[in-house]
Each structure stands twice: as C-alpha cells, then as structure tokens.
Structure 1
Amino acid sequence: MLSNQRIFMIVGSVALVMLSAVVHEVAHGWVAYKLGDPTAKQAGRLTLNPLAHLDPVGSVLLPLLMAWIGGPVFAFAKPVPYNPYNLRNPRRDEVLVALAGPTSNLLQALVGSLAFRLAFASWSGAADALYWVLMALQIYVYVNLTLMFFNLIPLPPLDGSKIVMPLLHGSARQSYYKIQQYSMPILLVVLYVLPSVLGFDPLGMYLDATAGNLATLMMGA
C-alpha cells in the first residue's frame, strides 16, 4: 500500500510538472510575440489556462508513469505555434524563442528555491502543514530544473535543437539534418530501452548530474 508521502510525491510531481510545462510553452509564445510574431496570441495560447496547453499523453500520462516508476519526472505540453518568418531577425530570434522555455523553468526554480529557503527557516522540524509545503517546493524546483536540462538536449523536437542549428554550417549542418531524422527513435531508446534492457540510464545520469546537483545547491539541502 502506498504511503501518504509517496502519494503526495506522485500527485504533486504530476501537478507541478503540468504547471511548469504550461509556463514553459507560454514563454515561447510570449517571446515570439515580443519579437514580432503574433501567431500564438492570435491562437489564444498566451494564457496560463492549462486547458489551452495540456496534452493528455505528454502532460498527464507520461509524468504520471514516470512519477510512479520513481525516475526523473518531465512532460510536454502542446507546442505554442509561431511563424519564424514574422520574426524581425529570424536567425537570432529563433534562438531567443527556443531559449525562452528553458529560461522560464530556471526562473521558476529560482523562485521555488527562494520560497523553500524562507519556509525552511521557519520550520520547527515537525510533520505539520509546513512540512508538506517544503516537500512541494522541493518537487517544484527539481521538476523545473529537469524540464530545463531535458529540453536543452539538442534533439528535435526539444529546444536544444533550435539553439544548436544556427551555430552549424556546411557539412556539420547536413550531418545534423541526418541525425534529426532519427531523433524520436534515439529518445525512445535512451528513455526506455537502455534503462530497462541494459540497466544503463544515461538520461538519468545526465539529469542527476545537472538538475539534481543544481537543485541541491539552490535549496541548500
């Protein structure tokens, strides 16, 4: 039977990853709008209303499954649409739009870690209401850092691919185009096949070294 803490971790992780993913997508659309593209605004996607963004599989089932398994929890919402041809400086602005999502997650993690430190300073050590608030803030910080570092992986459809692309030229860009064709199989292998079949989890190791260590540093825990 699941303990109250385990249930809280699962439900809290899924709820907070939904919130964080929505903010992530709105950030993409908001920066695109500020740089000249009104597509997201016209589509009604510059809103924090989760109903406008959540994807049943990527926003609910995937994080629920990952929280149940006990590994890193991340998710994706429906991508906010934008038209790069409307951007004032497409080559530069596409990178800024891509960076907006991970940056929003970093800012959320910073806010969460500050709130955690303030709440922790007032905590008596008892298993009271503040204890559950601290747990929620820990989850919020880690979820956002996980989303940030996961999205910085340079494979489509992740934001890292849009950040790397303008930096490549000639044969390097052509080689990257070829790799892009296999991006989803690569992600599926890394996410599921390697950990379950070979017991090797490179993504988990990467997220532990990045999101895990940074979360510990930010919260002083």
Structure 2
Amino acid sequence: MEFDINSFLRELSIAAVPFLMAITVHEASHGYAAYMLGDDTAKRAGRLTLNPLKHLDPLGLLVLFLTRLFGWAKPVPVNFTNLNNKKYGPAIVAGAGPTANFITAILSSGLYNIIINLNVSQSLHSTLIVPLALMALFSIQINIALGIFNLIPILPLDGGRILQSFLPLNAAYKFSQTEQYGFVIIIILLLTNVIDRVVFPIINVLVNLLT
C-alpha cells in the first residue's frame, strides 16, 4: 500500500491539538491539585500552566506521530511529603489527572454533537465542519483513553497511586517497591494483549456513550 504523506499530515494536524490539550489538562491538574493541598513544587517548576510546551515530551509526541492515538507528557513534579493530607493527598493528586480528562471528554462530546448538527453550506461543511468534528471526536477518544489507561492500578500510573493511598501502611510500602518494575509490567501487559482485552473494551464503551 502506498504511503500518502498528505493524508498522514492532515490526520496528524487534526489529532495534534486534542492530544496536546489532553496531556496538558492531565498534567496541569496534577500540579493544581498538589498546590491546593500544600505542595508548590509544580508551581516553582513553572508547570502550573495550560501552555502545552511546558508539558510536552518529545518521545511521547513521537509515539503520537507513530500511533496517532497514544502518547504522553512530562510528569508534573510533586513532593507528596509536602501535602497537607498525607494519607489520601496522593490519591487526590493522582485522580485529578484522569478526572480532568473525563471532564474534557464530556465537554468535547457536547461540542461534537453541536458541530455535527449545524446546518451549513456544503463547501463550509467539508472545509470547516468536518475537520472540527473530527478534532472533537478525537478529543473524546484520546481523553477517555488517557484517563482509563492512567487508572490501571500499577505504579507509577495514577491508578497505582490511588490504590497505594488506600492500602494499609505495610501493604502500601510493599506495593511502592513495585514502582521500579512498573513500566516493564505495562510493556508485558501490552505485548500479551491483556490491555487490549481488558482496557480497550472499557474505552470503547465510554467513547460510544459520548458519541
């Protein structure tokens, strides 16, 4: 099959803005939640911002180029020892990212349904409405995917931080020691199609509900 560079760039341009928005609200929400709970590490690092360039990770962007769906940003620095709520503060900070993604997905769903029901001329429909609708649709997909994926209960993902906060002290300490193997575990789950079988169906159900 011949590679169509123009088609690829067109699809990438549509995906880029929603992707940057998704990772930005995700990471900024972590920083804001931590700041509200007493930790100003993210603020001092200049990460309490909705400027996507402050959160962009070149490798994560490259993965977006290759997959056109998944990618990641630079994690916002958080010092959990500074949080006012030592027990559940980390869970609140961790949960803020996926929550922001789900809210963005719901807002994108509203925008998507408004756009597709606009009554405009055929020329305006093809040049403006279709690209905007595709951007809103991709925003729904990427925010749901990012939110659900990060809720997998494996450290260093947000789901792992949330689980750790609710475990008894001894169990939480033992669980924290698994963080050094977290990315290896995630890669194994990807290679063995466990995430495809467990996570993707949840993502698909939620996307279908919003579209």
- After TM superposition, list the pairs within 5 Å mapping 1:176-195 onto structure 2: 176-177=175-176, 179-191=178-190, 193-194=191-192
Is residue 154–residue 164 contact of structure 1 (8 Å, CA) maintained in 2? yes
* Aligned alpha-carbon RMSD (Å): 2.2
Select which of 33, 36, 61 maps to 1:34: 36
Select which of 187, 192, 195 maps to 1:203: 195
Partners of 1:203 and 1:178 lie apart in 2 by 22
Structure 1 residues 206, 11: CA separation in 2 closer, same or farther (over 3 Å shift)? farther
Select which of 80, 95, 99 maps to 1:99: 95
Q: Describe the SS at the equivalent of 2:87.
A: helix
Select which of 1, 8, 11 maps to 2:10: 8
Structure 1 residues 216, 5: CA separation in 2 closer, same or farther (over 3 Å shift)? farther
- After TM superposition, list the pairs within 5 Å mapping 1:42-61 onto structure 2: 42-58=44-60, 60-61=61-62
Cα displacement (A) at 1:6: 5.1
User: Greater CA deviation, 2-11 or 210-219?
Assistant: 2-11
Give the number of aligned pairs.
206
Cα displacement (A) at 1:202: 2.5
Structure 1 unmatched ranges of 5 or more: 68-72, 195-200
Partners of 2:112 and 2:93 lie apart in 1 by 29
Partner residue, 1:197:
none
Structure 2 unmatched ranges of 5 or more: none
Partners of 1:164 and 1:45 lie apart in 2 by 25
Q: How far does the alpha carbon of each residue in 1:35-56 deviate from its partner, in whole angstroms, 9 at most, with x for none?
A: 1111111111101122211111
Partner letter of residue 206 of structure 2?
Answer: L
Is residue 47–residue 55 contact of structure 2 (8 Å, CA) maintained in 1? yes
Partners of 2:105 and 2:85 lie apart in 1 by 30
The answer on 1:115 being equivalent to 2:114 is: no
Partners of 2:175 and 2:36 lie apart in 1 by 29
Q: Describe the SS at the equivalent of 1:182.
A: helix
Is residue 29–residue 81 contact of structure 1 (8 Å, CA) maintained in 2? yes
Partners of 2:116 and 2:8 lie apart in 1 by 21
Identity %: 33
Q: How far does the alpha carbon of each residue in 1:156-212 deviate from its partner, in whole angstroms, 9 at most, with x for none?
A: 221011000122226744663454442221212233x33xxxxxx232333431122
Cα displacement (A) at 1:113: 0.1
Q: How far does the alpha carbon of each residue in 1:29-81 deviate from its partner, in whole angstroms, 9 at most, with x for none?
A: 001111111111111110112221111102x11121222xxxxx222211111
Structure 1 residues 23, 44: CA separation in 2 closer, same or farther (over 3 Å shift)? same
Select which of 50, 57, 74 maps to 1:78: 74
Is residue 123–residue 131 contact of structure 1 (8 Å, CA) maintained in 2? no
